Amino acid sequence: MTDPAPEAVADEASSTDVSSSDASSDASSDASSDASTDSAAAETTGESGRRATADVATLEQEGEIAADYLEELLDICDLDGDLDLDVEGDRAVVAIVGDGLDQLVGPRGKVLDALQELARLAVLAQTGQRSRLMLDVAGYRAGRRTELTTLGTDAANEVARSGEAQRLNPMNPFERKIVHDAVAKVAGVYSESEGVEPQRRVVILPGSAA
């Protein structure tokens, strides 16, 4: 899957916000705040270690709940797939691995996004806690991450060279964060997001963020 080349940003671009908006929304500022509060409250290294272990255990539980839900869904759809569970940072990760799973991804990952939300709701129903669980199917998100990192880096380098802003195609929050992260590694440029979902997009501009 390849995004069309970025367009020059229009003068009338509106509703922009700094890239930290997407990054913070995806990273969940509430979770970060809670984590820092817990860290400050910990009086000993042992206490901090027990809390970290409990957090990992909670995330592992989220993954197991989501996996059970998804396994039932695969049976209903008569699809074969192996379920891999992991914990990355502060979120559980569940991957459905196998062949012939394209229908669970859908155009531009729309079906995958819907399944991810359903898996999160399954966790909420059992634990009473909202989840930031990430779902991948047939390596779609992993491949998309590589593709978007290249896109963001190439576009940022072009903006740094030409001094002209570039406006990318609409993306979901997951995709925008990847691009923002890639742009942040290129000197002399910065990125913002503009527009309203589902047409929200990344704009890459020369200079530095205000």
Tallying the residues shown for the chain, one arrives at: 210
pLDDT tens sequence across 70-125: 999 999 999 999 999 999 988 999 999 999 899 999 998 899 999 999 999 999 99
Sign (positive/negative) of CA torsion 161, 193, 170, 97?
positive
Indicate the class that CATH gives domain 30-139: alpha beta
The yes-or-no answer to whether 7-24+143-206 and 30-139 have a common fold is no
Give CA–CA dist 76/28, Å, rounded: 33
The residue ranges of every structural domain in the chain are 7-24+143-206, 30-139
Those residues with Cβ within 8 angstroms of residue 9's Cβ, 6 or more apart along the chain or in another chain: 164, 165, 166, 167, 203, 205
Parallel/antiparallel/unpaired status of strands 134-137 and 91-97: parallel
Pick the CATH number of 7-24+143-206 from 3.30.465.10, 1.10.10.60, 3.30.360.10, 3.30.1370.50: 3.30.1370.50
- Tens digits of residue pLDDT in 114-165: 999 999 999 999 999 999 999 999 999 999 999 999 999 999 999 999 999 9
Q: What is the pTM of this model?
A: 0.66
